[in-house]
Amino acid sequence: MQSYPEARPIWRRLVNRDEADRRTPTAIDLDAQNGLMRIVWADGHESLYELPALRRSCPCAGCSGEMGRPGTVDESTVFTQRQTTLADVQQLNRFGLQFIWADGHDDGLFSYALLRTLCPCDACTARRIGR
C-alpha cells in the first residue's frame, strides 16, 4: 500500500467524551406494566419514555417512510394495546436497542443516539424546539 504523506482527511468526525457520554446508557429499566422505559445516561441525564411514544417514533422504513414515500405512522395514528406493548427488548451491542412489540413488529432499530434525541424531558424538549 502506497503512503501519501501530504494527504489530509476530507471527512472526520471527532467524538468528544461529553458527546459519547450523552449516547452511552448506564442503566435501562423497563416497567412494562405501566408502559414506561427509563434510561440513565453516562452523563447523569435520565430519560423516561412512554412506550406508545417510542412506537410512534419507530425508525423503520415502514413506519417512518423512506425515499420520499410516507410511512404508515404519523401523529394521528391510533395504536392498539398490542402495538404499544413490548414482548421483548434486545440489546444491539453498543449500538442501541431492538424492540419486539406484542403485535410482532420488530423492524425498528433504535440507536442510543436516536433514543437520546427522543428524550421527552423538559430540558431536551426545549433544546429541540430551540434549534
Signed CA dihedral, 75, 78, 82, 84: sign only: positive
Could you tell me which residues are beta bridge partners of residue 96?
A: 92, 111
Give exposure, 103-115, as e/b (b: 16+ Cβ within 10 Å).
Answer: eebeebbbebeeb
pLDDT tens profile 40-79: 999 999 999 999 999 999 999 999 999 999 999 999 999 9
pLDDT tens profile 80-110: 999 999 999 999 988 999 999 999 999 999 9
Q: How far apart are CA 84 and CA 62, in angstroms?
A: 16
Q: What residue has cell string 494527504? A: 7
pLDDT tens profile 13-30: 444 567 788 889 999 999
Q: How far apart are CA 111 and CA 117, in angstroms?
A: 10
Q: Which three cell numbers stand for residue 115?
A: 433514543
Tell me the CA end-to-end span of the chain in Å, nearest whole number. 44
- Domains in the chain, ordered, with CATH? 17-130 (3.30.2020.30)
Give the contacts of 95 (CB within 8 A, at least 6 positions apart). 109, 111, 112
CB 117 within 8 A of CB 110: no
pLDDT for 1: 47
pLDDT for 131: 63
Q: What is the largest CA-CA distance in the chain?
A: 60
